[in-house]
Amino acid sequence: MATAQFIHNGDSIDYTPGAAVAAGDVVVQGDLIAIAKLDIAVGQRGALATVGVFDVPKATGGGTDIAAGAKLWWNASDSRVEKVVGDPARPYLGKAVRAAATTDATVRVRLEQ
């Protein structure tokens, strides 16, 4: 007898927020990190992407350049990605798919779980 039943491929998951979520918002649930595909109203079910490539905010200024392939973590308090490793409050988001200069406000990231 089978012990698991296939539901769907997992590129996105259902999510019902306790507060409104805007399209593009990064949502962290424990070790699961995803990005809202569309606006989701309070108490309404919507979709979060668990895979894909997104432009996400990053800091600008000295030392904020990011190389293609760099691992990136989400800083929820500043709503941006960082290269900082080892802070359990910052979940792993994914890898940069192209380089970002110190003057770039965003970096292109491939989500990874």
User: Number of folded domains in the chain?
Assistant: 2
Distance CA 109, CA 113 (A): 12
**42 domain-assigned:** yes
Same domain, 43 and 67: no
> Helical H runs in the chain?
none
Q: What is the pTM of this model?
A: 0.89
Domain extent at residue 109: 52-113
Mean pLDDT of 75-81: 92
- Are residue 70 and residue 103 in the same domain, yes or no? yes
Q: In this predicted model, what pLDDT tens digit does every residue of 9-57 receive, in sequence order?
A: 889 999 999 999 999 999 999 889 999 999 999 999 999 999 999 999 9
Residue 65 has pLDDT above 90, yes or no: yes
Angle, vertex CA 75, rays to CA 74 and CA 77, nearest 5: 145
